[in-house]
Structure 1
Amino acid sequence: MSATHASTRIGPNAITRVAEALQQRNGEAFTALIFGRAGLLRYLGQPPQSMVDEAEVMRLHRVLRDSVGPADARAVARDAGRRTADYLLARRIPRPVQALLHRLPAALAARVLLAAIRRHAWTFAGSGHFSARAGRPVVLTLQDNPLCRGVVLDGPACDYYAATFEHLFRVLVHPRARVRETACEAMGAAACVFEIDW
């Protein structure tokens, strides 16, 4: 892990899926306005194909909240998170693995999925620190969360992550899986904590 936040990378879904969600909800012109304010207009013409600087992701999500307000930003982030999960299901999680998870009891499927999420946490946590605990509920913790760094809000700011986790768990573990963010750094907590139950 890098000693400086600016040089730490995050997967491009945190940018490309926000663009898709914004275009669907608000149209291309508004999406260009938001990406322009974030200094990321180039990504609309040529979406990133590899890891991006976490500072770009932080800036995009901050500009989004500042431009549309917390409620609309949460809706866009949730849509982007679900799109990210769909992308992972279509391109990153092999079909045989998905078929195996569908056949396992939910508690065991959750453990297998958690192991995969832990192995790939570097792709979404950036310079933050991710941990996970199996059980009922499953507990995911992200400390020094890039999406919350320097952010102060009255409500949770992690809808992008929550929606990604929730959709993955609904498809691969249990159709009634639900994610609840029980603590958020943007609200003054020591870490962002997500509880998943079904």
Structure 2
Amino acid sequence: MDQANGKGDNGKGHSDEAARIGPNAIIRIAEALERDVGRDGAEKLLQDAGLESYIGNLPSQMVDEREVTRLHQAMRARLGMEHARAIAREAGRTTGDYLLAHRIPRGVQIVLKMLPPSAAARLLFAAISRNAWTFAGGGAFHVLAGTPLRFTIAGGPISRGARSDVPVCDYYAATFERLFRALVSPATTVVEIACEALGDPACVFEVRWA
């Protein structure tokens, strides 16, 4: 969901030793943190994550996915799970805003909005799948056929190494929800129903609009 050089294979991240993902995964979290806990608080979180180099200098190119993992871990440790999830959800919404404004061509958006929701969803998922490595990194992204629609992310950076009694991939859920509400149906909800942080084999998201 970020544009950059390179291409994934069947929804799986490219094979670099350290997979790289779009900078929105850092930028939008940092912006949401500053709005919520202030500049000093946001800078402390970046320091906790070992990302001091991004203070006042947020990335404009693809980033090492391990940086995203560390940032989410630092948020959970300093802010607590529920607060960190709220920050991630806000960052996901603004990532969706960015993609709608800068990455999805206006003509494509017009066509999707004219289609029935099921057809629009299929086309949108097809486009997302082609660029899945830009947000899943070294993880694997798959869309599951059926009703309701579901998609999975296995081995992604957000849940990596996390242990929780609730799902933790709110960033993904909110990003997809924002896109689907704008392009498929304003009634869309995206809910993470399984998560690797819970011990599940993959993070599973359910997409509904009726």
Q: Same fold (TM over 0.5)?
A: yes
Aligned positions of 1:154-169 closer than 5 A? 154-169=165-180
Give the aligned partner of residue 191 of structure 2: 180
Identity of aligned residues (%): 55
- 2:71 matches 1:60: yes
Mapped partners of 1:44, 1:100: distance in 2 = 40
Mapped partners of 2:40, 2:145: distance in 1 = 43
More helix by proportion, 1 or 2? 1
How large is the Cα RMSD of the aligned pairs? Answer: 1.0
Mapped partners of 2:93, 2:127: distance in 1 = 18
- 2:23 matches 1:2: no
Aligned positions of 1:79-158 closer than 5 A? 79-158=90-169
Q: Decide whether the 8 Å contact of 1:114 with 1:134 is kept in 2.
A: no
Mapped partners of 1:147, 1:79: distance in 2 = 15
Mapped partners of 1:35, 1:150: distance in 2 = 19
C-alpha deviation, 1:37, in angstroms: 1.1
- 2:206 matches 1:195: yes
After superposition, give the CA deviation of every residue in 1:102-121 in whole Å (9 maximum; x if it has no partner).
Answer: 10010000011000110110
Unaligned runs of 5+ in 2: 1-13
Give the aligned partner of residue 10 of structure 2: none
Q: Decide whether the 8 Å contact of 1:10 with 1:122 is kept in 2.
A: yes
Larger RCO: 1 or 2 (CA < 8 Å, sep 6+): 2
C-alpha deviation, 1:39, in angstroms: 1.4
C-alpha deviation, 1:131, in angstroms: 0.4
Amino acid at match of 2:72: H
Q: So what's the TM-score if we normalise by structure 2?
A: 0.91
Amino acid at match of 1:75: A
Equivalent position SS for 1:45: coil
The match for 2:38 among 20, 24, 27 is: 27
After superposition, give the CA deviation of every residue in 1:41-86 in whole Å (9 maximum; x if it has no partner).
Answer: 2213111111100111100110011110000000000000001000
Give the aligned partner of residue 74 of structure 1: 85
Mapped partners of 2:145, 2:187: distance in 1 = 17
- 2:170 matches 1:170: no
Mapped partners of 1:15, 1:191: distance in 2 = 23
